[in-house]
Structure 1
Amino acid sequence: MYSVLLTIHSLVRWLVLISLLVAICRAYKGWLGNEKYTRTDDAIRSATVNISHLQMVLGIVLYCISPVVRYFMSYFKRAVHEREIRFFGMEHITMMLIAIVLITIGSAKAKRQTTDRQRFRIMAIWFTIALVIIFASVPWHFSPFTRRPYFRWF
């Protein structure tokens, strides 16, 4: 079960990144171009939040069953000094939860705005900050914290 969830989590990360990039591009285009906020923009905002929440649920389940996290919790004093173990036991989950909170708040704030320009502006700012945090906290193949493949298969 762990390896299946890990593979799904790895693949859904690409959906999160793609949806965030699309939402951010549309938000900046709408904000700077003073465009009308359409049903498509709202659907992209909503889909981005939903995909991010799905990824969060998968991540929390993985966190609860991960042998790496189990080791981190059992041998905290030693594990906190091991970069890869600390990354998955503490840093990755903390930063990703912060990013999901930012996406959720940004979405909710954008939804409540009275003008289209304000909606786009709020989305652009909050989603961009979340994307930077996510990008820094994903275990990319080139990451200085820990390395994982771009695509993990079953």
Structure 2
Amino acid sequence: MYQFILAFHSLLRWLVLTSLLVSIITAYRGWFQYKTYSKRDNLIRMITVIIAHTQLVIGLWLYFISPIVNYFLHNFKDAVHNRQIRFFGIEHITMMITAIILITIGSAKAKKQTTDNQKFKTIAIWFTIGLLVILSSIPWSFSPLISRPLFRPF
């Protein structure tokens, strides 16, 4: 089961990144071109938040069944000095929860805005910051610090 959830989590990241990019591009276009905030724009925002929250739930599930995290939690004094174990034991989860909080706050603030331009601006800023946090915390295959495959088989 661990391998399946890990592969699913890895695959779902691409959906998270894609939905965030679509939301951000739509938001910046709407903000700078003074477009009307439509039902489609709202749907894009909601779908992005739902996908991000789904990824978080799967990530938390993975966190609690991961052998790497288990080792980290039971051997903290030694594990905290190992870059790869520390990354998955504390850094990755902390940054990803932070990113989802930022995206959630941005979504909630956008709903409360009274003008279309403010809705787009709010989404653009908060989702961009969330995306940057996510991009900095994914274990990319090309990272010199912590490396994982871009796609995991099921």
Q: Which residue of 1 aligns with 2:130?
A: 130
**SS of residue paired to 1:142:** coil
Q: TM-score, normalization: structure 1? A: 0.99
- Would you say the 8 A contact 1:11–1:152 is kept in 2? yes
AA matched with 2:99: A
Q: TM-score, normalization: structure 2? A: 0.99
What are the superposed Cα offsets for residues 86-144 of structure 1, whole Å, 9 maximum, x if unpaired? Answer: 00000000000000000000000001110000000000000000000000000001123
Q: Which residue of 2 aligns with 1:88?
A: 88
Moved segments of 4+, more than 3 Å: none
> Whole-Å Cα distance in 2 between the matches of residues 48 and 86 of structure 1?
29
AA matched with 1:143: S
Q: Which residue of 2 aligns with 1:9?
A: 9
Q: Which residue of 1 aligns with 2:42?
A: 42
- Would you say the 8 A contact 1:87–1:145 is kept in 2? no
Q: Which residue of 1 aligns with 2:117?
A: 117
> Whole-Å Cα distance in 2 between the matches of residues 38 and 73 of structure 1?
47
What are the superposed Cα offsets for residues 16-35 of structure 1, whole Å, 9 maximum, x if unpaired? Answer: 00000000000000001111
Q: Which residue of 1 aligns with 2:29?
A: 29
Instruction: In structure 2, list runs of 5 or more residues that go unmatched.
Output: none
> Whole-Å Cα distance in 1 between the matches of residues 11 and 23 of structure 2?
19
Q: Which residue of 2 aligns with 1:144?
A: 144
Number of residue equivalences = 154
Instruction: In structure 1, list runs of 5 or more residues that go unmatched.
Output: none
- Would you say the 8 A contact 1:2–1:66 is kept in 2? yes
> Whole-Å Cα distance in 2 between the matches of residues 143 and 27 of structure 1?
30
**SS of residue paired to 2:46:** helix
AA matched with 2:114: T
